[in-house]
């Protein structure tokens, strides 16, 4: 049985680990994987058809705990303990729920002190007692008539919630805590830079936990802005984003069969390679000969996709200038985002002329992908990978074909 410390508005955990509000989904998964011998039987719950309309949930069925992650930010929003008989709980080092201590209203008053009067919900037949960042729900089905304010003696806690703010119904996932950065850089947002024909590169707004003179007490979140352009060198990218989490070399290009003359392509003696930035949700492909950026992949990290939880969600924005038919022939500024659906993309960019490429994925030759295939459509030097629920799984951006690489904006041509 887990023995956990309750910290209102912050976390539920122990000396080895904690589920902190604002924690990314992937870090919670890492904790569960590391302690799989203790924390067992974990369910991942999400809406397959409408993944943005419902929270992403980790249900620890053996321990009676649910971790509710915001569907958009994918950060921890609420910690719910729905079965107090399966876990020990303490506050400020003193237990208020264990095999020897029943979580009655008297015990809660003794452990947490006075608060505002409780609120009775007739539909649920529950009495909610709220503290800042913490609430307890008491079962009152044994009473014929619920009291106005005072919870009857002996009433037992049925559920407990940890969240930020004063209202559980209006709570939101907080910003990621400093303790969750772990030396990584995260992307707050990614803007795709474009000209009239297609993408030019990326402008990234980055988050990092900086500190002055090594003093952690002075640590704070810092914002950085960096830009990556097609034709940038490896040194340019390393200087802007730092070392990647992984370098992946392409063993073969399975998509070349869709090129106009695949039989004329001579196998290369060296392979193109990716810089994988998992916490940014971005892959950058370099040409094996010139070592210049030739392609960028942005990952949306939707549940139900084969690569879910490998990348953090890339919150990207793609600006478009759309010409509207009419007497005035006016143009309109539009933006595609991580949360745009394929139908919305087609309304703005038009329908692709060619049929989609069906993308199958499996971990080995004998395994099948339980999530099914995705479909890849090409429009304006962008390839949209579309899931079966109409959401975008990834966007691949290509630079304009040029005989020589362009000079980086803001630098002289001689710098190359």
Indicate the range of 121-135, 277-291, 333-347, 362-376 predicted with least confidence. 362-376
When the pLDDT of each residue in the chain is averaged and rounded to a whole number, the result is 87
Residues 155 and 108 sit within 8 Å (Cβ to Cβ): no
Q: Is the confidence at residue 262, as pLDDT, over 70?
A: no
Q: Which secondary-structure segment (H or E) carries 26?
A: helix 25-34
Share of the chain above pLDDT 90, in %: 66
What per-residue confidence (pLDDT) applies to 414? 38
Over range 280-289, report the average pLDDT.
Answer: 96
- Every domain of the chain and the residues it spans: 1-161, 180-396
Q: Which residue has 């004329």 as its token pair?
A: 264
Residues in Cβ contact with 15 at an 8 Å cutoff, skipping those fewer than 6 apart: none
Predicted confidence band at 415 (pLDDT cuts at 50, 70, 90)? very low
Give CA separation, 4 vs 11, 65, 94, 96, 163, in Å. Answer: 10, 11, 11, 11, 16
Q: Is the confidence at residue 404, as pLDDT, over 50?
A: no
Q: Is the confidence at residue 52, as pLDDT, over 50?
A: yes
Residues in Cβ contact with 363 at an 8 Å cutoff, skipping those fewer than 6 apart: none
Q: Is the confidence at residue 398, as pLDDT, over 90?
A: yes
Residues 130 and 116 sit within 8 Å (Cβ to Cβ): yes
Over range 262-273, report the average pLDDT.
Answer: 66
What per-residue confidence (pLDDT) applies to 282? 98
Span 293-304, pLDDT tens digits: 999 999 999 999
**Higher local confidence (pLDDT), 47 or 405:** 47
pTM for the model stands at 0.88
Over range 221-242, report the average pLDDT.
Answer: 96
Indicate the range of 9-13, 16-20, 111-115, 169-173 predicted with least confidence. 111-115
CA gyration radius, the chain: 26
What per-residue confidence (pLDDT) applies to 234? 96
Distance CA 92, CA 384 (A): 51
Q: Is the confidence at residue 219, as pLDDT, over 50?
A: yes
**Higher local confidence (pLDDT), 50 or 410:** 50
Tokens matching residue 320: 């478009």
Q: Is the confidence at residue 93, as pLDDT, over 70?
A: yes
Q: Is the confidence at residue 392, as pLDDT, over 80?
A: yes
What per-residue confidence (pLDDT) applies to 325? 66
What per-residue confidence (pLDDT) applies to 323? 73
């Amino acid at each position: 049985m887990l023995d956990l410390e309750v910290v209102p508005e912050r976390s539920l955990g122990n000396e080895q680990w904690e589920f902190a509000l604002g924690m990314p989904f992937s870090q919670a998964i890492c904790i569960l994987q590391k302690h799989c011998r203790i924390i067992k039987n974990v369910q991942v719950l999400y809406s397959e058809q409408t993944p943005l309309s419902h929270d992403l949930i980790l249900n620890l069925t053996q321990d009676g705990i649910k971790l509710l992650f915001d569907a958009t930010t994918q950060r921890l929003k609420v910690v719910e303990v729905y079965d107090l008989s399966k876990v020990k709980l303490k506050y400020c080092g003193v237990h208020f729920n264990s095999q020897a201590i029943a979580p009655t209203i008297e015990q809660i008053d003794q452990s947490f002190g006075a608060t505002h009067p409780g609120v009775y919900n007739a539909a649920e037949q529950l009495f909610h007692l709220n503290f800042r960042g913490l609430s307890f729900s008491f079962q009152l089905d044994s009473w014929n008539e619920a009291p106005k304010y005072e919870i009857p003696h002996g009433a037992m806690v049925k559920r407990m919630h940890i969240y930020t703010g004063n209202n559980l119904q209006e709570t939101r996932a907080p910003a990621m805590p400093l303790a969750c950065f772990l030396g990584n850089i995260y992307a707050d947002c990614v803007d795709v830079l474009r000209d009239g024909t297609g993408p030019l590169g990326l402008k990234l707004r980055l988050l990092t936990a900086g500190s002055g003179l090594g003093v952690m007490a002075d640590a704070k979140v810092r914002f950085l802005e960096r830009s990556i352009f097609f034709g940038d060198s490896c040194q340019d990218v390393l200087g802007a984003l730092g070392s990647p989490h992984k370098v992946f070399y392409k063993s073969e290009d399975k998509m070349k069969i869709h090129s106009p003359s695949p039989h004329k392509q001579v196998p290369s003696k060296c392979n193109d390679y990716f810089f994988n930035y998992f916490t940014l949700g971005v892959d950058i492909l370099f040409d094996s000969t010139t070592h210049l950026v030739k392609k960028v992949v942005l990952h949306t990290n939707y549940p139900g996709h084969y690569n879910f939880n490998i990348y953090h969600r890339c919150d990207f924005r793609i600006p478009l200038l759309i010409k509207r038919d009419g007497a005035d022939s006016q143009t309109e500024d539009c933006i595609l985002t991580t949360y745009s659906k394929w139908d919305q993309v087609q309304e703005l960019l038009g329908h692709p002329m060619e049929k989609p490429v069906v993308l199958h994925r499996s971990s080995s030759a004998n395994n099948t992908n339980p999530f099914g295939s995705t479909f890849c459509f090409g429009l304006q030097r962008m390839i949209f990978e579309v899931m079966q629920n109409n959401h975008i799984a990834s966007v691949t951006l290509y630079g304009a074909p040029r005989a020589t690489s362009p000079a980086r904006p803001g630098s002289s041509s001689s710098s190359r």
